[in-house]
Structure 1
Amino acid sequence: MYKLSLSILLIFLSHTLLLADSPIKNTEKGENLRYVIHYGIIRGGKASLKIRSEKIDGKDLYHATLTGKTIGLFNSLYKVKDTYESFINTETLLPEKAIRDIREGNYKRYTEIVFNREKNEVNSTRSGIHKVPEGTHDILSAFYFARANHFNSNLKVGEVVKIQTHFSDELFLLQFRFMGYETINSKIGDVNCYKFIPIVATGRAFKDEDDMTIWISADANRIPVRVQFDLFIGSLRCDLINFSDFSYDSLLDND
């Protein structure tokens, strides 16, 4: 069951790490966020997000790369290394290409998705061409869009943010309920945060729809500070431990 829950954490972590401000103040240098994953008191994994600007085929794009993996004892018991990439249009914040490279134990899967905005289609290297609703995101670009359009001080407690994505060769509706503000004691100090509860599917891992919580810094950077899962077998927690190329002062200020 640990391998299942860790895989879930890495997948949902990839859904949340991209809430930082779009690349942001120094696009040439880029940004880097680093996280540690704990299962109870045991350190079992780490994750990082790197983002930079690139020019591809004459287009200015944001290139985001998220990697999560097991470490230490858990890496010996069940090795996980998941990588997600997104190439995002700098004007619309809609993705033009997404990559998902999954390595979990003996299971491996590599998929590239290309978005055709004129035809409202995606072309997957694994499943071919599919129709999608207009404005569909991949799982990473969705949060740049959310940050720019939804995650701000205008949110009302109980409000649910919904964004249509295409993930794992399927349409997937992301839903986040805003729960108010909370101060989180973290490795970088006390940070005032937005508190969100994603609406998750219940079943093998989650008992209730609100068994996952995300805390996002309530400032211009919108940095994910903590992600926590309450599972049948216990709690998993992912904490920010280091960042570069952000303003530390603004991180501690309110929005």
Structure 2
Amino acid sequence: MNKLITICFFLATLFTSAQSAKKISNENDLAFKGGEWLKYRMSYSNFLNAGYSTIDVKEIKKNGKPAFHINGKGKSTGLVSVFFKVKDNYQTFISKETLKPYRFIRKINEGGYTKDKEIFFDHQKKEATVKNHKHNTEKKYPISSNIQDILSSMYFLRNQDLTNLKVGQEIELKMFFDQEINNFKLQFIGKEVIKTKFGKVSTLKFKPLVQAGRVFKEKESVTVWISNDKNKVPLKIKASLAVGSLRADLDKFKGLAHPFNIIFDN
């Protein structure tokens, strides 16, 4: 249970496309905008309320150029919080033009296990500087081009064209996390209409290929659904764990850049 809140962010960013970063020619083409706010409810084994996470977007300036500050927070609630208190914060700062991250913050407290790290990305030098504020250390690491962090990747994906994906197609991702470049794969399963608290919604369904073992039940234990519209909002994440299952559902939202398409039954 010590990864209960963190896993929501982790799973939500696993299904990121590894396409080349692109410049946004028209601001209206973006799948998100400043003021967007998403709230997810997490449950364990479909009945135990485990916690909530929120992600919000603000427009800022970086060296006089437009950028985004994306702030993700997660915390345990209810019975889970009594036995194991979790409070996590992930932040990323990305260029509005390229959607590449230039700064990443990770502050977590999971039952007393803490991390306080800050990463600065230099894409020209292909170098990441990791500052560990807990241990007062600083170290540089080589990175590949178009690298993303665990939170920026979610917003990079939302601005890619997924219309030509074929069922069974696998996509690879390179993400800088925990001082190293991690390689992930995910598979496009197809389109599916799912029930949400807002109504029925058409979605794109993915299965990230995760490592089986102590946390996940098997290699293909995770399923992710994102809205099949211009927003490409993650709507539901479900994972079969070694013990029980974890589910995250979009609970509330505001400030979407485009209409949220809900299917009304006749």
Residue 181 of structure 2 is aligned to residue 176 of structure 1: no
The answer on whether the counterparts of 2:15 and 2:208 sit within 8 Å (CA) in structure 1 is no
* Residue of structure 1 equivalent to 2:151: 140
Distance 1:164 1:247, change over 3 A: closer
How far apart in 2 are the matches of 1:237 and 1:249? Answer: 25
Return the match for 1:210 from 213, 220, 235: 220
How far apart in 2 are the matches of 1:5 and 1:53? Answer: 30
How far residue 22 of structure 1 moved from its aligned partner, in angstroms, is: 4.3
* Residue of structure 1 equivalent to 2:8: 10
Gaps of 5+ in 2: 18-28, 133-137
Query: Which one is further off, 140-149 or 65-74?
Result: 140-149
Give secondary structure in 2 for the equivalent of 1:54.
Answer: strand
What is the CA deviation profile of residues 12-42 of structure 1, one whole-angstrom value per residue up to 9, with x for unaligned ones? 24526999x8463x53xx1101110011211
The answer on whether the counterparts of 1:14 and 1:66 sit within 8 Å (CA) in structure 2 is no
Answer 1 or 2: which has greater helix percent: 1
Residue 256 of structure 2 is aligned to residue 246 of structure 1: yes
**Higher relative contact order, chain-length normalized (CA < 8 Å, sep 6+):** 2
Residue 158 of structure 2 is aligned to residue 162 of structure 1: no
The answer on whether the counterparts of 2:40 and 2:251 sit within 8 Å (CA) in structure 1 is yes
Distance 1:46 1:250, change over 3 A: closer
- The residue identity in structure 2 corresponding to 1:132 is I
Residue 233 of structure 2 is aligned to residue 223 of structure 1: yes
The answer on whether the counterparts of 1:82 and 1:102 sit within 8 Å (CA) in structure 2 is yes
Query: Which one is further off, 107-116 or 57-66?
Result: 57-66
The answer on whether the counterparts of 2:158 and 2:231 sit within 8 Å (CA) in structure 1 is no
RMSD between superposed Cα atoms in Å: 2.2
Identical columns (%) = 34
How far apart in 2 are the matches of 1:139 and 1:18? Answer: 10
Gaps of 5+ in 1: none
The answer on whether the counterparts of 1:23 and 1:53 sit within 8 Å (CA) in structure 2 is no
Return the match for 1:233 from 235, 243, 252: 243
Aligned residues: 246
* Residue of structure 2 equivalent to 1:31: 36
Give secondary structure in 2 for the equivalent of 1:119.
Answer: coil
How far apart in 1 are the matches of 2:169 and 2:201? Answer: 22
